[in-house]
Structure formats: C-alpha cells, structure tokens
Amino acid sequence: MARKKRLDVNAVLEQERAGFGLREEQSIYHTAGYIRLSVEDSGKTDGYSLANQEKLVKDFIADQQDMRLYRLYIDNGATGTVFERPAFDEMMQDMKDGKINCIVVKDLSRLGRNYLEAGNYLEQIFPFFRVRFISITDGYDSNSPDVTNESLIIPLKNIINEGYAKDISQKITTSFEARKKQGQFMGKYPVYGYLKNPENKNHLIVNPETSGIVKRIFQMRDSGMALGVIASQLNEEGIPSPARYLWLKGFSKEERHKDSYWDRTNVKRLLTNKMYLGMLVYGKERTSFAKGIKRQRVPESEWKYVPNAHEAIIDQELFDSVQRKLEGAKQDFLNMTGINEDYQPENLFRGRIHCSDCGRAMKMTKFVATRKDGSIDRYAVYECCRRKQLYDLSCPQRSIRKASVDKTVEEAIRFHIRTFLDTEQVIVKLNRSPKGRAAASNIQNRIREKQRRITKIERLSTGIYEDYREGILNEEEYLAIRRQYGAEKEELLKEVDALMQAETEHEADYHSTGSLADIVRKYAEFQELNREIVEAFIADIQVHTDSHLAITFAFEDEFQRLIDMAEQRRRETV
C-alpha cells in the first residue's frame, strides 16, 4: 500500500518566517584549514613554515562572515607526492561524515604535488561531497561565479607542482643511492644487533645488549635446532623480539611492535641477513615518483652489497654453515609437503579458521606420505600458528585434516540454506491461512487509521499557521502547538513504517529480502564448495581440541529474524 504524499508544512512555514519577524539562521561553512610541511620544505623561514601557514589560514577564515573554523589538520613532514597522510586522511573522513563542508589551504601545492590525484580531488571528490575548496594565494574559490575560467589555470599550476615533486624525488633518490654506495646506513631503525653511531647516524656499531643474542641464534641453528624451537626458547627466556626491542627502547612508537614475539619467520630473517657479515645490504625495494614506480619488492638476485661497511657480528664460516642447513631443511620440507608434486589443494578457509584455545589463525600445510603398501597419500591439514610458528606447546591444539573441515562446513552450509528456505515456506503457508489473512487485514486497517490521523494533523497545522498570521495565536503559542503536532506526526510516521513492514511480511507470496536472502537464492543449488561460497556464508570457524568445529555464519541476525518471524506467525495463527 503506497503512503500518501506528505504535506511539508515545516518547509512552507520556514519560507514565511522572515515576513513575520522570525529569525533565520545564516548559512555557515564548517571550515577545515589544511596545512602541510614536507621534508624538503622543513627548515625554510618563508611562508611554507607551519606557523606562517597556520596564521594565514586562520586569519583568512576569521575574516569571512560565512565561515567558522572547525579545526586545523596538520601534516608535518608529509610528502606532497602521495595523498596517504594521517591528517589529510582524517580530514577526508570528517568530510565524508559531514562534519566539514569547506577546505582552505595556503596554495595548491599544500593539497598535493601529484597532478592527477590533485585534479581528481578538485574536479570529482570535493564537488561530489559538495565541499567548497579555497586556495588563498592562488585566488581560487570553487564557489566563485567564474570558477570555470579559473579552473583552466589550475592544471598548469598542478603540472608545475608535479614537475617540482618529480625533480625533488629524483634528486633525493640519487642522493640516497650515492650515500648507500659509500656504505652509509639509511634505514629508519638499526638492524637487530646494532645501534646507530651517536657521532654518525649513518654508520652502525655493535650493540652490546643484543649482538650476543644474534651470535647465539646462529649457533643454535648450526647445532641443528629447528627454527620453531629457537623461537620458543627465546620467548620462554623473555628475550624481546627485534620489533619489541625497538618498542621497549623507544626507537619505535608503533603499537604492533609492543606485543611482537619471536617466531619462525623473524628467526629465519635474522639467520639470512648478510648485514651480520659487516655488509651493507640495500636495494631490496624499488620506488620512484619521478619514474612513476610505486613501492615494490626486488628479487634477491638484484640486491646490492657494500662489504666492510660496519663491524661484523658473524664470521663467514658460521654464516655459510647455517645457510646450508636452512637450504637442506627447505628441501626436506618441500619433499615432505609435496610442493614439488602435482598437488595444489585450495585453501578455502584462509583468514576464517582459528584455534579455539589461543585464537591464532590455522595455517594450511600440504603433506605427501608413503603408505606401507607403497602407495602415495596426499593430504592437507590446518595447524595452529601458535604451535607451528612459535613452537608453543602450551596450546593444546594440534591439527585437523582439511578434508574433514571441507566436509563439515559444506554440510553446515547446505543445512543453513535448507533451513532458511523451509522457514520461508512455513511463513507463506501461515500467511495464507484464514487467521493469517485476518492478521494482514487488521494491519491494513491500522495503517489507514494512522494515515487518516496524519492527514488531520497536517490540516490542523495549516490551520494554526493561519491563526498565527491573523494574530489569534502569538508566536510562543504557535510554536508550542506546532511542536506538539510535529512530534505526534513523527511518531505516527514511524508506526506506519513499522506497520507497512509488517504488511509486507504478511503477504501471501512472502519472500525474505536482505543480504542473506540474496546469497541463499544465489547458491541454493551449488554443486561443490569453493572459496566464493565460504566468503559469502562463513564469518568464522573455531577449531576445538577434539576436532569439533564451531561455525559462525555471516548475517546471523537476518537468519534469526526469519526464525523469529515464523514463530510469531505461528502464535498469531494458533
């Protein structure tokens, strides 16, 4: 049943208020001031300093009658060649949340020096969110009547800004490359086992606190100790991992480093690092704004080395011995897991299957075993990462075969689909019963009754406005009555919405709507479980020690709502 068109009495009243002395609030722009100081700008005493930018922006906003400063967003030391900056990202989120509708910058280069991205914000993103953009020194205002003519000049300035950024990028890259070739360390954090020399931050010196641990780890692996066992022993002894050590010493402020532990991965990374031979290793990643290259990993064969860049912690003989053992273990693992065989099972539950005891992810590992009769058994298991990576035997979880998980989850999804569709049919059957039809008729009567009251309120609202214009009611009386009618009307509209939803749910050919309903109908007749189906239906799988699976389905609230609806319909028709 279609709702009657509402008379927007409030809109009519607002249009008439000015003529009767009622106050009208002036339109105010909630304005963000954006300030950016890049590394290449730091140290300057001209208008690019943070203080000068802030003063210019705040003074400009204060002088505008239609602007109110919401807040300043400041990126200190952020490059203009990329738009992933903390304060800028926060400003964009506030824009999307409707907290700001105007942005003011000193000049266009503060927005960014990437021509394509800056143009996208000016021509697409800001207009889409109806955000006014002002560049003070460029004299640009997106609300200006001749903004079309002005916008012809903007791309030219952006090209200049991008050319400048590319030039700076090229110069910085060239400078860094030259210094690395000289053996200077340019990393943010010192390598575990070393410290930055207080007298020369680009030179590493041996750290007496951690260098002994590095030597010990190499000796442990050389003696045949497995990576996981090494990690477990270091954790049991309370020795901080490299990342946690940085956090404890105040070198790093990143929270993710606070709870970092030793595991197979960081132990192996340490054991394969040629920095411990006294070499400077660089060129592991490649990035260049000037050449349009985003950050990307470089094959190890292309890495670059500078010998005798700093004091060695490990001698060549021990390092080579450990590399041979690592390579041997790798080949044994490849043979055991069958990676060299034609066996590639799909990891259907990646990121969705966890150990119920420790909460860690379960990792899929492939195996190839030879049976007693000589036949080959290929299979995969899910293993707890805590036991596997940290070698933490305190977690009781061991492993569960992938085939068992596949079978259990597939059966659960089929049952979930069947239950959903069967419940829907139960609702349809009850809706078509005599009592079901009577309930639907009663809902329709209630909708009509409330709509009649809404119409009456709209008529009364118009009447009291006429009484106000004629002086029968003063302003205070008029506003009080109007608020009362408005509140009643708003409540009635909510009730009508709820009743219309109930009317839909009582239809004789009812079909559930929503995300779950869509995926149920899409996959109702699926033949074989795949990753797409798992992502659609499964939110999480908890594996218990007894190999019991606790499955959490996606859209459980929608499923429960359907079950509750069927139960409600059953009570109505008893």
pLDDT at res. 340: 47
User: Considering the domain 194-325 in this protein, what is its CATH number?
Assistant: 3.90.1750.20
479 pLDDT exceeds 80?
Answer: yes
Residue-wise pLDDT for 249-306, tens only, equals: 888 877 778 888 898 889 999 999 998 999 888 777 765 444 444 567 778 787 888 8
According to CATH, the topology of domain 11-165 is Rossmann fold (3.40.50)
pLDDT at res. 25: 39
529 pLDDT exceeds 90?
Answer: yes
> Is there a common fold for 11-165 and 194-325?
no
Residue among 237, 233, 260, 234 nearest 247 (CA)? 260
pLDDT range class, residue 145, cuts 50, 70, 90: low
Residue-wise pLDDT for 365-385, tens only, equals: 887 776 777 777 788 889 887
**pTM, two decimal places:** 0.48
- Average pLDDT score, the chain: 80
Strands (E) across 412-461 are located at none
pLDDT at res. 166: 58
Percent of the chain exceeding pLDDT 70 equals 79
Q: Could you give phi then psi for residue 138, rounded to 5 degrees?
A: -85, -10
Q: Please say whether the beta carbons of 108 and 158 come within 8 A.
A: yes
pLDDT at res. 43: 45
The mean per-residue pLDDT over the stretch 76-105 comes to: 84
The mean per-residue pLDDT over the stretch 505-527 comes to: 87
Q: Could you give phi then psi for residue 430, rounded to 5 degrees?
A: -70, -35
Strands (E) across 307-398 are located at 353-355, 362-370, 376-384
pLDDT at res. 430: 85
161 pLDDT exceeds 60?
Answer: no
pLDDT range class, residue 147, cuts 50, 70, 90: low
Domain ranges of the chain: 11-165, 194-325, 335-394, 421-568
The mean per-residue pLDDT over the stretch 335-355 comes to: 77
pLDDT range class, residue 120, cuts 50, 70, 90: confident
More confident residue, 146 or 412: 412
210 pLDDT exceeds 90?
Answer: yes
pLDDT range class, residue 23, cuts 50, 70, 90: very low
443 pLDDT exceeds 60?
Answer: yes
DSSP 8-state code for residue 361? B
pLDDT at res. 216: 96
Percent of the chain exceeding pLDDT 90 equals 33
The mean per-residue pLDDT over the stretch 137-157 comes to: 65
The mean per-residue pLDDT over the stretch 212-224 comes to: 96
What stretches of 129-260 show up as alpha helix (H) in DSSP?
147-151, 154-181, 211-222, 227-236, 242-248, 255-258
DSSP state string for 64-123: -TTEEEEEEEEEES--SS-S--HHHHHHHHHHHTTS-SEEEESSHHHH-S-HHHHHHIII
Q: Which residues neighbour 251 within 8 Å (Cβ) at sequence distance 6 or greater?
A: 189, 190
Q: Please say whether the beta carbons of 432 and 502 come within 8 A.
A: no
Among 5-14, 238-247, 510-519, the range with the most confident prediction by mean pLDDT is 238-247
What stretches of 273-368 show up as alpha helix (H) in DSSP?
316-337
Question: In which element (H, E) is residue 534 found?
Answer: helix 531-537
**Chain position carrying tokens 């946690």:** 244
pLDDT range class, residue 45, cuts 50, 70, 90: very low
pLDDT at res. 84: 78
pLDDT range class, residue 237, cuts 50, 70, 90: very high
The mean per-residue pLDDT over the stretch 510-533 comes to: 91
Residue 50 to residue 550: CA distance in whole angstroms: 55
Burial 179-209 (b: 16+ CB within 10 A, else e): ebeebbbeeeebbbbbbbeeeeebbbbbbee
pLDDT at res. 163: 56
Among 6-15, 160-169, 301-310, 321-330, the range with the most confident prediction by mean pLDDT is 321-330
Q: Could you give phi then psi for residue 353, rounded to 5 degrees?
A: -120, 130
158 pLDDT exceeds 60?
Answer: no
